[in-house]
Amino acid sequence: MQRLNKLISGRSDIHIRSSIVMNINSFNSRKFSSTIKASSSEQETTIKKYGGMMGKNWDELWQNNQTPWDTKQGCPILRHLVENVYNNRSDLKHGLIPGCGNGYDADLMSGIKSIETVTGLDISETAVESANGKKESFSYGQVSKVSFVCGDFFNVDKKFDIIFDYTFLCALPLSLRESWAKQMKNLLNSKENPQSELVTLIFPLFKYNKNGQLETDPTVGPPYLLNFELVEKLLTQQGFTLIEKYPVPANLSHPARVNNEIIARWKL
């Protein structure tokens, strides 16, 4: 198992339970191409469990280049935090970006001076391939410290000093939200490092439906509408306390997401 993890991640200390690795492999190794198609019932099962959009699971979306969430850049607010908060700290050694997609935020996180490893995790093998293909072009951080790993967030067994959630919680099926909060608690290295933190970039606070009207139904998505109180409830139930929160200033948001994001930092 250790060897498998090492093969997957280049590190032996990321433990993904073996049963789940099998599930992930069966999920990911199926290339939903024109030649090998999953049966519609298998497809429904993976979508039900892990989510997806437009009737497709995450890997199919990545394979079809249907990635409307991809802003092609790291989050300016994360860069701001790296340069103004995290670079003044020496305790942030291991970082995680769950649902990393193309990995731009992993590049930013690897810019933290004290960082030793950044794991960009995605359940889609195609996303991980894509992120690995982009690694050469990353120019902000310390790319040698970044590993992209294919796996299920809910089955990672490892501790991190800093975790950054962006467009991950809002992408998950609503039924997984409490598990998301519990798993964030499991993953945070709070016993060894009481300063370890979870950073949530809460988005979208509003969105429009296909008729151009504001969507008010929180069950329509992904992305599912989020708000601070919802995230606060999920995390405080697990013992998290708020370090700070503020609406992301316009100059630190992607132009298409101005006034639609709140940054909140949490610790245990």
Ligand X SMILES: C[S@@+](CC[C@H](N)C(=O)[O-])C[C@H]1O[C@@H](n2cnc3c(N)ncnc32)[C@H](O)[C@@H]1O
Binding interface with ligand X (CB under 6 A): 50-51, 58, 69-70, 98-102, 121-124, 127, 152-154, 166-168, 171
Q: Give the CB-nearest residue to ligand X.
A: 99
Report the nearest approach of ligand X to the CB of residue 34 (Å): 21
Q: 71 or 190, CB closer to ligand X?
A: 71
Considering beta carbons, is residue 193 or 226 the nearer one to ligand X? 226
- Taking the complex as a whole, the smallest distance from the CB of residue 265 to ligand X amounts, in Å, to 18
Of 107 and 152, CB closest to ligand X: 152
DSSP 3-state assignment of 188? strand
As measured in angstroms, the least distance from the Cβ of 171 to ligand X is 4
Please give the Cα distance from 208 to 221 (Å, whole number). 11
Residue 244, token pair as written in the block: 């700070």
- Closer CB to ligand X, 92 or 171, in the complex: 171
Smallest gap, in angstroms, from Cβ of residue 194 to ligand X?
27
The minimum distance between CB 24 and ligand X, in angstroms, equals 9
Asked if 209 contacts 178 with a C-beta cutoff of 8 angstroms, the reply is no
Per-residue buried b or exposed e for 179-193, using 16+ beta carbons within 10 Å of the residue's own CB? ebbebbbebbbbeeb
- Quick one: 129 or 232, whose CB is closer to ligand X? 129
Least Å from the CB of residue 37 to ligand X: 19
Q: Identify the H or E element spanning 5.
A: helix 2-9
d(Cα 184, Cα 167) in Å, to the nearest integer?
15
Q: How far is CA 112 from CA 44, 71, 129, 175, 186, in A?
A: 40, 22, 24, 34, 23
Which residue lies nearer to ligand X by CB, 27 or 86? 27
CA distances in angstroms from 134 to 69, 83, 150, listed in the order given:
17, 23, 16
Given the structure tokens 């200033």, which residue do they identify? 249
- Rounded to whole angstroms, the Cα distance separating 53 from 69 reads 11
